[in-house]
């Protein structure tokens, strides 16, 4: 199962305020995160809620046929970067001016599933491949610098051990 990503750019809120909202949902299940954002009093929560819905829809598109409720979606990673800054001037006493910086930010949200059956299949395949690689490397080490007759004897014993390893392996 693939993870899904959604990016929100140039949100007219300071990164500091947005990070407060984002920290509330980091590592939380999607359903719980949506509830947290829905009932939050912070104004950036509405933007992050839309972004989270977008990320879950992206996940649905990547993993068609899978139900997001059954796969245990959670907010895997979320971070806030500073965006463009508008610089304005405010009038100050005695003919001076103060600088006002209107900040914006970029939010990146990554959603993944906790339950992934494909990982177990990948693990089984890698175990079989690693067993074959181990027998090949041990055969090469044992036959290095030996006579041809000794090499054949070592190869025969290696074949026997690989056969016994395959026979003891459980098949699901």
pTM (predicted TM-score): 0.65
pLDDT grade, residue 74 (50/70/90)? very high
CA neighbor of 33 nearest in space, from 81, 68, 84: 68
Rounded Cα gap, residues 74 and 14, in angstroms: 25
State yes or no: pLDDT of 139 exceeds 70.
no
pLDDT at 2: 82
**Each residue's pLDDT tens digit, 96-127:** 999 999 999 999 999 999 885 554 444 444 55
Rounded Cα gap, residues 91 and 110, in angstroms: 43
Reduced to 3 DSSP states, what percent helix, strand and coil does the chain have, rounded to the nearest 5? 55, 25, 20
**Each residue's pLDDT tens digit, 89-102:** 999 999 999 999 99
CA neighbor of 74 nearest in space, from 88, 63, 59, 84: 59
> Taking a C-beta distance cutoff of 8 angstroms, is the pair 82, 60 a contact?
no
Alpha helices in 75-147 (DSSP H): 117-143
Annotation: CATH topology of 4-115 = Ribosomal Protein L22; Chain A (3.90.470)
In the chain, what are the domain boundaries?
4-115, 119-168
pLDDT at 60: 92
> Taking a C-beta distance cutoff of 8 angstroms, is the pair 33, 23 a contact?
no
**Each residue's pLDDT tens digit, 20-56:** 999 999 999 999 999 999 999 999 999 999 999 999 9
pLDDT at 156: 64
């Amino acid at each position: 199962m693939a993870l899904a990503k959604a990016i929100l750019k140039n949100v007219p809120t300071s990164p500091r305020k947005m990070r407060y909202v984002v920290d509330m949902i980091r590592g939380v299940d999607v359903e719980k995160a949506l509830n947290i954002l829905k009932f939050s009093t912070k104004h950036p929560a509405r933007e992050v809620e839309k972004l989270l819905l977008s990320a879950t829809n992206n996940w649905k598109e990547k993993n068609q046929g899978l139900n997001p409720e059954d796969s245990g979606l959670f907010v895997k990673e979320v971070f806030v970067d500073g965006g463009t800054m508008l610089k304005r001037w405010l009038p100050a006493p005695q003919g001076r001016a103060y600088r006002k910086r209107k900040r914006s930010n970029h939010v990146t949200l990554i959603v993944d599933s906790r339950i992934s059956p494909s990982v177990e299949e990948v693990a089984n395949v890698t175990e079989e491949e690693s067993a074959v690689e181990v027998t090949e490397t041990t055969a090469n080490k044992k036959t290095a610098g030996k006579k041809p007759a000794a090499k054949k004897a070592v190869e025969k014993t290696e074949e026997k051990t690989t056969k016994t390893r395959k026979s003891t392996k459980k098949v699901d």
